[in-house]
A and B are shown apart, each in its own frame.
Chain A
């Protein structure tokens, strides 16, 4: 309890207080109340970065869902032996060091990397091409990195799903699409929501992937905040930015949970 208060709650409060202070020289602060940091955070320049981060996080979440659902479905319907193998195969990259994984992607698409070289030998392009340093690469990196966060909760949901319901649906004349949309999706909603939260939250504040795969071209919230702390030494402004980031996350979570609860109450009468 003391620990949680000392290392979780207190630092959070301090960040909030910092965000209302003035920046001093050399990373210091001056105790003077101001809301200038927030005004600056809503500058057009930073709003754009914010918009880009939101867009990328949303795109990552949706694509993880789109790809993760089939994977989880295969996991849930596989035989015991096969499932264990697939689970281990899924967990190995998941547990592999984050820096190593991101580096592997960088290497794959680098000038010296196999794609660049194979392209040369096949005559697609004549000189080494650097594929990293683009928005697409950052998205691809996020997708492969966060996929297990989506697949595992979905798998847990699908594992509990009673597949004879699909048969019942079919017998009662539901098309495959209807069966999927009206039976499978509503009953695995819990996994979909958990997975989306687990992907969206870290994706929004991601630093390492855009930093390594985006080069200097891709600037997202995570990079902006880190820069304020490490390079600019403007801690109050960095704090203000992170408070804004936090608010977006909390707002997102509350919205999702609200929608979910509404759906729950909507679904109930149908079930009876």
Chain B
């Protein structure tokens, strides 16, 4: 479907160009600074990998990275299962309080993050739940499962229910129907929700800041306290590495989407 689209006026184009420039200049500076060392005596700038070797040798940073990955993995898993189940329940069944649950799943999207952060902190403290990796994981599941609910529900909304009926008519058991027909169809929704959940978890600062106890710093928290302490070359290198992995992830995320749409296309062709 190709529609005729006017080319935007020159000032619209220049605003756009300027915007991208503004978005990328700080990141470019960061990358450049990560390769530069300023000689304290002469004030001269030298090219070096010193920042990187310092950052990679830092045990605390490695610990924080492991913590981030650990939290990201478990909260993604939790959010995916919980989100899919909730989306399924909301789409298929009617039960008392359904409207409330429906509204409740959207709450994390609209309330300020700080309110959610402190409410979880008070809650954990009140329940005498010790603050650490588990409390962070629980908190992360809470704010990220909404995204899985949304992506899975979108998938369920354009789901052809006659496919399930056909499977049942042809003698498949309900379990078989779920795993062989329904699940593959909503899988892309779960996958994009999970990707979102992981990104959010890995990126999160504020909620972790409130719900992390002593010694369970994730990477963003560690980074923040390092920055508060002062600008050090280590931070530049670490930030550049994080930026690089983000770029890899974005490129990766844009690939499976194509495969996903191809799959659904071939399914449509079969149907």
Contact = CB atoms under 8 A, between A and B. Distances in A.
A110 B231 contact: yes
B19 A242 contact: no
Interface residues of B, number: 75
Contacts of B89: 1
Interface string B5-22: 111100111011001101
A73 B4 contact: no
A249 B110 contact: yes
Contact of A89 (B20, B126, B220): B20
Contact of B223 (A15, A76, A99, A105): A99
A225 B118 contact: yes
B26 A105 contact: yes
A3 interface: yes
Contacts of B3: 162-164
A68 B108 CA distance: 24
Interface residues of A, number: 73
A92 B118 contact: no
Contacts of A201: 110-112
Contact of A235 (B122, B138, B224): B122
Interface string A1-22: 1011101111110110010000
30 contacts: A3-B142, A3-B145, A4-B86, A5-B104, A7-B120, A10-B123, A11-B119, A12-B115, A84-B254, A89-B24, A91-B250, A92-B247, A93-B23, A97-B239, A99-B224, A100-B223, A100-B242, A103-B235, A103-B239, A104-B26, A144-B22, A147-B19, A163-B5, A202-B113, A207-B206, A208-B224, A222-B114, A229-B210, A239-B122, A249-B110
Interface of A: 1, 3-5, 7-12, 14-15, 18, 67, 70-71, 73-74, 76-77, 84, 86, 88-93, 95-101, 103-108, 110, 112-114, 144, 147, 162-164, 166-167, 197, 201-202, 204-205, 207-208, 212, 221-222, 225-226, 229, 235, 238-239, 242, 245-246, 249, 253
